[in-house]
């Protein structure tokens, strides 16, 4: 798999995809690529990542406080090579905007067959689990790029 621009997508772009954005950006520093994140919904557009995501990232030395939420748009299919979504609902919503087979092929669940579940309504433990799942998946992708 060749290296390419990566977009991380969840629903609100304040909990899961900002973590994925920060983690992937940190891990991919040897590659000359663009990393960003977006939400399928616009409820939080312009907002900072959830405080719990910020704290969880900072526990691992990653500062995501400068990120601002934005909504996924059809133009993202042109700007990114890989569009990783967190759950099947995100997958449905992003694929609904795909114009071509080429667009569709860029979209995949970050965990392959499993989902990164929404931690928004739960406690801090959910964010730790989300972090671990995302971090593992990002490392696997980077490993594939190196081969
Ligand atoms: P995210 O989490 O999709 O991981 O950013 C959510 C954040 C906010 C809401 C839902 C999910 N919300 O309904 O406001």
* pLDDT tens digits, 65-82: 999 999 999 999 999 999
Active site residue 16: yes
User: Is 50 a residue of the active site?
Assistant: no
Q: Rounded to whole angstroms, how far apart are CA atoms 112 and 114?
A: 6
pLDDT band at 50 (very low <50, low <70, confident <90, very high): very high
Determine the pLDDT at residue 41: 98
CA distance 28 to 45: 26
Q: How high is the mean pLDDT of the chain?
A: 97
pLDDT at residue 76, as a whole number = 98
Residue nearest to atom 12 of ligand 1 (CA): 12
Give the residue whose CA is nearest to atom 8 of ligand 1.
12
User: Which listed residue (15, 118, 135, 138) is catalytic?
Assistant: 118
Catalytic residue among 16, 87, 135, 138: 16
Q: Where are the alpha helices (DSSP H) in the chain?
A: 16-27, 51-59, 76-79, 88-95, 101-105, 124-146
Distance CA 15, CA 140 (A): 21
Can you read off the two tokens belonging to residue 9? 């997508």
Name all residues whose Cβ lies below 6 A of ligand 1. Answer: 10-16, 39, 43, 118, 120
Domains and CATH numbers, the chain: 6-146 (3.40.50.2300)
pLDDT higher than threshold 90 for residue 110: yes
Specify the pLDDT at position 11. Answer: 98
- Predicted pLDDT of residue 147: 81
30 catalytically annotated? no
pLDDT more than 70, % of the chain: 100
- Average pLDDT on 30-43 reads 97
Confidence of residue 6 (pLDDT cuts 50, 70, 90): very high
- Put simply, whether the predicted model's pTM sits higher than 0.75 gets the answer yes
- The residue whose CA is least distant from atom 10 of ligand 1 is 12
Helix (H, G, I), strand (E, B) or coil at 77: helix
List pLDDT tens digits, range 122-146: 988 999 999 999 999 999 999 999 9
């Amino acid at each position: 798999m060749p290296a390419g621009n990566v977009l991380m997508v969840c629903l609100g772009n304040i909990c899961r995809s900002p973590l994925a954005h920060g983690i992937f950006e940190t891990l991919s520093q040897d590659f000359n690529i663009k990393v960003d994140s977006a939400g399928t919904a616009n409820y939080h557009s312009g907002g900072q990542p959830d405080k719990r995501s910020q704290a969880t990232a900072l526990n691992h030395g990653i500062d995501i406080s400068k990120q601002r939420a934005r909504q996924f748009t059809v133009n993202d299919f042109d700007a990114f090579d890989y569009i990783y979504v967190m759950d099947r609902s995100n997958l449905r919503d992003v694929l609904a905007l795909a114009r071509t087979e080429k667009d569709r092929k860029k979209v995949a669940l970050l965990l392959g067959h499993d989902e990164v579940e929404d931690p928004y309504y739960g406690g801090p433990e959910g964010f730790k689990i989300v972090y671990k799942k995302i971090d593992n998946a990002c490392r696997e992708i980077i490993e594939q790029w190196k081969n």
